[in-house]
Amino acid sequence: MIEYFGGGLVDGSLILLGGEPGIGKSTLILQICDKIKTEKTVLYVSGEESAEQIKLRADRLKIDKNNVMFFGETDIDLIESEIEKQVPELVIIDSIQTIYSDKVDSIPGSTSQLREITSRIMRMCKEKKVTTIIIGHVTKDRKYCRTKSIRTYGRCSFIFRRRKIFII
């Protein structure tokens, strides 16, 4: 998949990776982390699984976790603080639907929350030159992470479906 990024990840870019539940988005991201580990420090933010669960998956895949920091959180203010503190070169947000802002009066995963969270992440990416990969999943109504509302923020989008990959 690195080839689709022009041979590497661009500093400050925002990438959306979406797909059906269980298709392997988190596993793919861990493998990408392993591929680039010698070049960059990674902050893996998980709102769905605990850091321990992600580490167990990484162990099963024999992923070198030396340069990967895990952070289990859903509050965007705390996530931004952690990014400021750790100063990573790559941030993974898994998944965007679980992250929320107290400034928006709606539930996590709603269109207004997704727009707020994505715009804040994008702003921080650009200012700090931090590459960010946002993971989204299919909603119950089969929409891909409400990508119409956030797709325009990213450099590129990858949507995974059974037996198909869409590069948008």
> How high is the pLDDT of residue 156?
53
Model pLDDT, residue 71: 93
Query: Model pTM?
Result: 0.83
Cα–Cα distance measured from residue 39 to residue 33, given in angstroms and rounded to the nearest whole number: 10
pLDDT at 148: 53
Q: Choose among 43, 23, 27: nearest CA to 159.
A: 23
Q: Can you name the CATH fold of 2-167?
A: Rossmann fold (3.40.50)
Q: Residue ranges of the chain with pLDDT lower than 70?
A: 1-7, 37-39, 138-168
**Which sign, positive or negative, has the C-alpha torsion 53, 55, 56, 61?**
positive
Q: Residue 163 contacts by C-beta under 8 Å, 6 or more apart in sequence?
A: none
Alpha-carbon dihedral 133, 67, 51, 55, rounded to 10 degrees: 110
